[in-house]
């Protein structure tokens, strides 16, 4: 048990020398402390983490053959959104909007073309995805610069 801890300690310490990520260092210290003490509960109570936290990261580390890059936080954001309106239909909505049509008229025109998009979806596209619309804003004069 002691030699196993020493091997693991040496391997993880060598890898933590080359990382500047604070979260990874904290997780490595927790795992090494648990191995040193021989008690996960004691190590977690000393460091202020739950046992679930320890087992989650210890499992990831072990599955990745003790490579500490497994301890890096990864995004949980989905890679794609299956119900999102396609960019083709979004561009159609923007083109119709640029011609001066409102959400009701756009809904009716798209319904005639065979692709019914609900009015709330059209409003969402127009209001929340304005990055496609390039409107130039007038620069406001500061209050003290106004002459009259």
Number of domains in the chain: 2
| One domain for residues 62 and 104 | no
| One domain for residues 98 and 50 | no
139 located within any domain: no
pLDDT band per the 50, 70, 90 thresholds, residue 137: low
Give 51-79 pLDDT, tens digit per residue.
Answer: 999 999 999 999 998 898 999 998 988 88
| One domain for residues 9 and 62 | yes
End of a domain among 36, 71, 106? Answer: 71
Q: Which of 43-52, 81-90, 126-135 has the lowest mean pLDDT?
A: 126-135
| One domain for residues 6 and 59 | yes
Give the range of the structural domain holding residue 102, as residue numbers without chain letter.
87-132
| One domain for residues 65 and 102 | no
148 located within any domain: no
CB–CB of 94/38 below 8 Å? no
147 located within any domain: no
pLDDT band per the 50, 70, 90 thresholds, residue 135: low
Q: Please give the pLDDT value at position 14.
A: 86
24 located within any domain: yes
33 located within any domain: yes
37 located within any domain: yes
| One domain for residues 25 and 65 | yes
Q: Please give the pLDDT value at position 147.
A: 66
Taking 60 as the threshold, does the pLDDT of residue 132 lie above it? Answer: no
pLDDT band per the 50, 70, 90 thresholds, residue 12: confident
């Amino acid at each position: 048990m002691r030699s196993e801890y020493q091997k693991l300690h040496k391997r993880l310490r060598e890898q933590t020398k080359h990382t500047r990520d604070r979260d990874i260092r904290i997780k490595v210290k927790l795992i090494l402390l648990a191995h040193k003490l021989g008690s996960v509960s004691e190590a977690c109570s000393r460091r202020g983490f739950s046992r679930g936290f320890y087992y989650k990261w210890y499992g990831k580390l072990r599955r990745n053959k003790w490579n500490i890059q497994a301890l890096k936080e990864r995004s949980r954001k989905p890679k794609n959104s299956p119900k999102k309106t396609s960019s083709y239909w979004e561009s159609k909505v923007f083109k119709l909007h640029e011609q001066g049509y409102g959400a009701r008229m756009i809904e009716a025109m798209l319904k005639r073309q065979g692709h019914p998009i609900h009015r709330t979806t059209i409003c969402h596209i127009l209001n929340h995805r304005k990055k496609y619309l390039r409107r130039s804003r007038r620069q406001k004069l500061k209050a003290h610069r106004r002459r009259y």
